[in-house]
């Protein structure tokens, strides 16, 4: 952050959103240390919003100046000015001042379970602790227990928190890889005699791509029994807290799970409350206040404290004058206003897909034969699929050359004849053609034109300049044989940043050339991501949702692609592979 100037010239290092979000997050913690009441919330809200934004803050600033920044929710003049300073200088004087006053590794220390701003501050002021190593040492030397507000048991708790932090490197969990675990726990909860109703709430219910913890909710007259069951499940590694209405455990897989228990008449209110998001709920509570009500996890209450709604979520929204808002939309991204004016989208449903246009077989890097994958697709309820194995230059995946592709085409036609006769599913011929560094494709046009479906994708040179990368994708999209741009931004969640591209340009060319943009449903890709899906739809671009299946078991990935599309406000009509086969084929280039 200090690489400010070089021979007096300003070097722009282009801070990424997550770095800017981190600065704002740390300012929030510093403000809380100072005892500020409301500033921390303002900074935290801004940090969360910017951290979740797909488009670079720098790009927004370049396009619309400080005014565009101030139009973002939760960003006023003051924070906007700080953003401009960060964008222009890669530094922020205000932040650096705070850092000088209390020079500690704030992000790390405060991410240790049980450590908040006040404790970090006290530990620095009394014991000079600035990082996790010094904290651990002080505890081992029994110096922490002497401080007011700490004791032997807090020392042990912090030590456990440090241990966990070191193991988990503070990561979030990819929903598609862990949702099964939760559904399994939920089934067991539901089977208990003492449980009337149980649901998974939280960000998992909102189908966020990654989650920090899981929130279970149950209604019961015998909460103690349910809590005993929950805290003694075989997968529990550690019990954080155990109370009558709330318990938190950590599973052996490392993820924290909460269980809340409420009376049956509060189940809907609690479900609404614990589903979040936090910002969505704050807005709902404000609406409740305006109407003279009070909303909490036990229900909606009038002035005389009588419950007027709470058994179902629908009753809460309805009494607030709103239609039901589906969990995937509850992110404070305009859904409440849309609900108020009857403009909520009619989201694509989880059963609406008829086709899947990206599937791999053991001809390249898939695990099963064409016929095995076809049968699995049929079982998943699909009416048509395209086999799209990799092309020749993707050597890591044993890409197919022209000769092999010809052979595969024959095999597909053979299988297709038998399955069609059974009246089941149609297999389209296809390929995932590799986009080379200069934007050309690794198969000739006379080869490509033989396929029913051509998906083009980037698999190398991920860090070209924005201009080069955009030009590269655009050039592939102008190819008359390319129907779909597969996993357009190439991101891998928590592993690889999205390509640096001019997404507006991609959208323009997608529309101009009728090139479909894919939502790849692989749980660690989900590419396009929700926000880009929303922008694609606003620009009237077409999208498809594909499984990118490499295994018979991968068709259930489609659920996560659909949820991502729902989070991007996609309707059935926006997604081309909800069409029956004939209409789908007609809609291609």
Partner DNA sequence: GCCGTTTTCGGCCCGACTGTTTTCAGTCG
Q: How many angstroms separate the CA atoms of 400 and 221, rounded? A: 62
Considering only residues 19, 136, 297, 551, which one is a binding residue for DNA as defined by CB under 7 A? Answer: 297
Q: Where are the alpha helices (DSSP H) in 380-497?
A: 402-421, 445-448, 466-477
Q: Which is nearer to DNA, 18 or 298 (CB)?
A: 298
Q: Is 313 among the residues that bind DNA (CB under 7 A)?
A: no
Considering only residues 241, 418, 440, 463, which one is a binding residue for DNA as defined by CB under 7 A? Answer: 241
Q: Which is nearer to DNA, 110 or 434 (CB)?
A: 110
Q: How many angstroms separate the CA atoms of 28 and 16, rounded? A: 19
Any idea which residue has 């081309």 for tokens?
576
Stretch that binds DNA, among 166-174, 288-296, 479-487, 514-522 (CB under 7 A): 288-296
Order the strands of the 307-309 sheet from edge to edge: 294-296, 299-301, 307-309
Q: How many angstroms separate the CA atoms of 493 and 72, rounded? A: 25
Stretch that binds DNA, among 171-179, 283-291, 485-493, 577-585 (CB under 7 A): 283-291
Q: State the DSSP H helix or E strand holding residue 247, giving kind and residue range, or none if neither.
A: strand 246-251
In the complex, least distance from residue 473 CB atom to DNA, rounded to whole angstroms: 34
Per CB under 7 A, contacts with DNA among 177-236 are 202, 212-213, 215
Q: Which is nearer to DNA, 293 or 532 (CB)?
A: 293
CA 56, 59, 64 angle in degrees (round to 5)? 130
Any idea which residue has 């697709």 for tokens?
377
Q: Is 43 among the residues that bind DNA (CB under 7 A)?
A: yes
Q: Which is nearer to DNA, 295 or 380 (CB)?
A: 295
Supply the Cα-derived Rg of the chain in whole angstroms.
Answer: 26
Q: How many angstroms separate the CA atoms of 1 and 13, rounded? A: 9
Q: Which is nearer to DNA, 201 or 477 (CB)?
A: 201
User: Residues 6 or more apart from 516 whose CB is under 8 A from it?
Assistant: 483, 484, 485, 510, 541, 542, 543, 544, 576, 588
In the complex, least distance from residue 29 CB atom to DNA, rounded to whole angstroms: 9
Site track 524-563 with DNA (rule: CB under 7 A), x = hit = ----------------------------------------
Stretch that binds DNA, among 34-42, 97-105, 453-461, 536-544 (CB under 7 A): 34-42
Q: Which is nearer to DNA, 122 or 588 (CB)?
A: 122
Q: Is 41 among the residues that bind DNA (CB under 7 A)?
A: yes
Per CB under 7 A, contacts with DNA among 58-87 are 73-80
Considering only residues 130, 256, 326, 587, which one is a binding residue for DNA as defined by CB under 7 A? Answer: 256
Stretch that binds DNA, among 278-286, 435-443, 486-494, 520-528 (CB under 7 A): 278-286
Q: Is 277 among the residues that bind DNA (CB under 7 A)?
A: no
Q: Which of 520, 553, 546, 514 is nearest to 354 (CA)?
A: 546
In the complex, least distance from residue 261 CB atom to DNA, rounded to whole angstroms: 8
Considering only residues 258, 432, 518, 531, which one is a binding residue for DNA as defined by CB under 7 A? Answer: 258
Considering only residues 52, 89, 168, 296, which one is a binding residue for DNA as defined by CB under 7 A? Answer: 296
Considering only residues 64, 103, 114, 381, which one is a binding residue for DNA as defined by CB under 7 A? Answer: 114
Q: How many angstroms separate the CA atoms of 472 and 479, rounded? A: 12
**3-state SS class at 84:** helix
Considering only residues 64, 65, 116, 349, which one is a binding residue for DNA as defined by CB under 7 A? Answer: 116
Site track 140-159 with DNA (rule: CB under 7 A), x = hit = -----x--xxxxxxxx-x--
User: Residues 6 or more apart from 204 whose CB is under 8 A from it?
Assistant: 175, 179, 182, 211, 214, 215
Question: Is there a contact between 125 and 48 (Cβ–Cβ < 8 Å)?
Answer: no
Any idea which residue has 């675990």 for tokens?
181
Q: Which is nearer to DNA, 217 or 433 (CB)?
A: 217
Return the bridge partners of 359, or none. Answer: 387, 549
Q: 306 vs 265, 268, 283, 295, CA distance in Å?
A: 13, 16, 22, 11
Q: Which structure tokens are listed for 289? A: 């206040």
Considering only residues 7, 167, 290, 495, which one is a binding residue for DNA as defined by CB under 7 A? Answer: 290
Q: Which is nearer to DNA, 95 or 555 (CB)?
A: 95
CA 57, 63, 65 angle in degrees (round to 5)? 75
Q: Which structure tokens are listed for 201? A: 């709430």
Q: Which of 45, 149, 25 is nearest to 95 (CA)?
A: 25
In the complex, least distance from residue 247 CB atom to DNA, rounded to whole angstroms: 7
Q: Is 245 among the residues that bind DNA (CB under 7 A)?
A: yes
Query: Treating both helix axes as pointing N-terminal to C-terminal, what angle do 132-140 and 152-168 enclose, rounded to 10 degrees?
Result: 140
Task: Give the count of beta carbons closer than 10 Å to the beta carbon of residue 167.
Answer: 8
Number of residues that bind DNA (CB under 7 A): 59
Q: Which of 561, 527, 524, 526 is nearest to 356 (CA)?
A: 561
In the complex, least distance from residue 250 CB atom to DNA, rounded to whole angstroms: 10
Stretch that binds DNA, among 4-12, 112-120, 358-366, 491-499 (CB under 7 A): 112-120
Q: How many angstroms separate the CA atoms of 181 and 456, rounded? A: 35
Q: Is 42 among the residues that bind DNA (CB under 7 A)?
A: yes
User: Residues 6 or more apart from 232 whose CB is under 8 A from it?
Assistant: none
Q: Is 310 among the residues that bind DNA (CB under 7 A)?
A: no
In the complex, least distance from residue 78 CB atom to DNA, rounded to whole angstroms: 3
Q: Which is nearer to DNA, 286 or 407 (CB)?
A: 286
In the complex, the residues that contact DNA under the rule CB under 7 A are 37-39, 41-43, 46, 73-80, 110, 113-120, 145, 148-155, 157, 202, 212-213, 215, 241-246, 256, 258, 274, 278, 281-282, 285-286, 289-290, 294, 296-298, 340
């Amino acid at each position: 952050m200090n690489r400010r100037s070089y021979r007096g010239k300003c070097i722009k290092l282009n801070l990424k959103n997550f770095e800017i979000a981190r600065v704002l997050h740390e300012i929030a913690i510093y403000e809380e240390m100072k005892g500020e009441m409301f500033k921390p919330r303002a900074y935290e809200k801004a940090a969360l919003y910017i951290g979740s934004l797909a488009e670079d803050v720098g790009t927004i600033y370049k396009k619309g100046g400080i005014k565009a920044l101030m139009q973002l929710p939760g960003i006023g003049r003051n924070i906007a000015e700080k953003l401009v300073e960060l964008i222009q200088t890669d530094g922020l004087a205000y932040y650096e001042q705070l850092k000088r006053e209390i020079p500690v590794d704030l992000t790390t220390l405060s991410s240790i379970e049980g450590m908040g701003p006040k404790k970090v501050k006290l530990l620095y002021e009394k014991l000079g602790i600035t990082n996790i190593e010094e904290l651990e040492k002080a505890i081992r030397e029994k110096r922490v227990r002497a401080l007011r507000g700490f004791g032997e048991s807090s020392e042990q708790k912090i030590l456990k928190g440090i241990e966990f932090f070191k193991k988990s490197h503070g990561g979030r969990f990819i929903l598609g890889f862990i949702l099964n675990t939760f559904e399994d726990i939920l089934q067991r909860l539901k089977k208990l005699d003492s449980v009337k109703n149980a649901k998974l709430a939280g960000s998992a219910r909102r189908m966020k791509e990654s989650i920090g913890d899981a929130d279970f909710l149950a209604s019961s007259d015998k909460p103690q029994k349910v809590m005993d069951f929950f805290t003694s499940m075989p997968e529990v590694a550690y019990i954080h807290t155990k109370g009558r209405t709330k318990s938190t455990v950590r599973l052996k897989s490392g993820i924290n799970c909460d269980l809340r228990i409420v009376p049956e008449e509060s189940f809907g209110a609690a479900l609404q409350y614990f589903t979040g998001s936090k910002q969505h709920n704050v807005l709902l509570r404000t609406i409740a206040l305006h109407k003279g009500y009070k909303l909490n996890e036990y229900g909606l209450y009038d002035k005389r404290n009588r419950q007027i709604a709470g058994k179902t979520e629908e009753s809460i929204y309805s009494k607030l004058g709103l239609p039901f808002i589906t969990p995937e939309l509850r992110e404070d991204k305009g859904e409440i206003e849309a609900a108020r004016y009857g403009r909520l989208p009619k989201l694509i449903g989880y059963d609406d897909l008829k086709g899947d246009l990206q599937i791999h077989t053991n001809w390249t890097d898939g695990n099963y034969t064409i016929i095995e994958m076809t049968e699995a697709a049929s079982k998943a309820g699909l009416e048509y699929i395209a086999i799209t194995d990799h092309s020749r230059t993707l050597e890591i995946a044993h890409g197919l050359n022209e000769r092999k592709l010809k052979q595969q085409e024959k095999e597909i036609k053979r299988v297709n004849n038998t399955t069609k006769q059974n009246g089941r599913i149609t297999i389209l011929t296809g390929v995932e053609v590799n986009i080379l560094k200069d934007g050309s494709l690794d198969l000739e046009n006379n080869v490509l034109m033989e396929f029913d479906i051509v998906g083009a994708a980037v698999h190398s040179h991920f860090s070209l300049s924005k201009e080069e990368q955009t030009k590269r994708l655009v050039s592939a999209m102008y190819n008359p044989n390319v129907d779909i741009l597969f996993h357009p931004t190439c991101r891998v969640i928590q592993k690889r940043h999205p390509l640096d591209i001019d997404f507006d340009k991609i959208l323009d060319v997608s529309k101009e050339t009728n090139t479909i943009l894919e939502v790849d449903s692989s749980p660690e890709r989900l590419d396009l991501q929700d926000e880009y899906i929303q922008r694609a739809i606003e620009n009237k671009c077409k999208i498809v949702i594909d499984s990118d299946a490499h295994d018979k078991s991968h068709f259930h990935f489609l659920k996560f692609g659909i949820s991502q599309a729902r989070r991007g406000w996609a309707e059935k009509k926006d997604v081309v592979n909800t069409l029956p086969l004939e209409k789908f084929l007609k809609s291609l280039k």
